[in-house]
Structure 1
């Protein structure tokens, strides 16, 4: 049984679909969006730390995750976003520590948290440095690592 097979003419092949376009983002929008997210997530981190009087690494990682998520959603596949996310997360975690310190100081001083964070911010920062716990370095690292990895993987 011999069959004669003739291949179809070159014009009769169906073209492969075009690849999906790369997500293009707006880095100009990603930077302030991620910065605001870092401050908001850092404030939540500081509030939770103050409420439970304990540091939790998962919360620092959560700050990093949220910052990176916003950065990638707004900035697309820009290769600077993992580094930017990690840096902004460091600022967010620091803001959380300063807020927690201000809340603790407001319980001992006749000033509100808002007054401490505005007119007495130098005192709050110095108090944070005076009570700095070396384990905090680990939490800064956890947050920055989570942000970097989340942004790196989400951009792919």
Structure 2
């Protein structure tokens, strides 16, 4: 058995304890579990299993979790900066929306994949600046990603209109009828747009969390 397979049992066992150097160890032996198949000393403890679940943070590759001790959890929480994370995410989202509009005018196509890039960028910058591990970082990242993609769509429509009218972006913005703007968005809306919005929100959420290397 691998250590990961044994840990699935240990995390639910009453006899486990946390060692800052070795990770989860057996309180009876003072060493990491070494059993094969089943452990004769296993005592089920739903409370400890729930505790470990609440202390789980995202792994770098997104396929596993790293267990943090209460001390580590408190340390990383003290390093969080929600305001800075949101500011960085908002700035990235705005830049992404403007870039999307610029590419739309340059290519003549509204490239939907830009929504995915915006979602990733928002989440990544939220994580880098905010160093968050609490759910609020993911929630804010998802919301900012959605708003940024929405703005990207609006900016693209205005940019196309300004190109056709041979006027500047801000001149077009000052005279445009927003009721018509939203009507154009609805007319152009397709099921694939829902997918892009959904993936962007997921990326904004997932990539907003601080990641940790496995010991």
After TM superposition, the score normalised by the length of structure 2 is 0.55
- What are the equivalent positions in structure 2 for 1:2-151 lying under 5 Å apart? 21-22=75-76, 24-52=79-107, 53-57=109-113, 59-77=114-132, 78-109=134-165, 111-120=167-176, 122=178, 123-151=180-208
Change over 3 Å in CA distance of 1:84–1:155 after alignment to 2: farther
Comparing both structures, which one devotes a greater share of its residues to helix? 1
RMSD: 2.7
Q: Which runs of 5+ in 1 are unaligned?
A: 1-14
SS at match of 1:25: coil
Deviation string 1:3-55 (CA, Å, 9 cap, x unpaired) is: xxxxxxxxxxxx96x96942612112222221121111121123223333142
Bigger proportion of residues as strand: 2
Q: How far off is 1:155 after superposition?
A: 4.2
* Paired residue secondary structure (2:172): helix
Pairwise CA distance, 1:135: 2.4
Q: Is the 8 A contact 1:63 1:92 kept in 2?
A: yes
Change beyond 3 A, Cα 1:110–1:62: closer
Q: Which runs of 5+ in 2 are unaligned?
A: 1-19, 22-70
Higher relative contact order by CA 8 Å / sep ≥ 6: 1 or 2?
A: 1
State the Cα distance separating 1:118 from its structure 2 match: 4.1
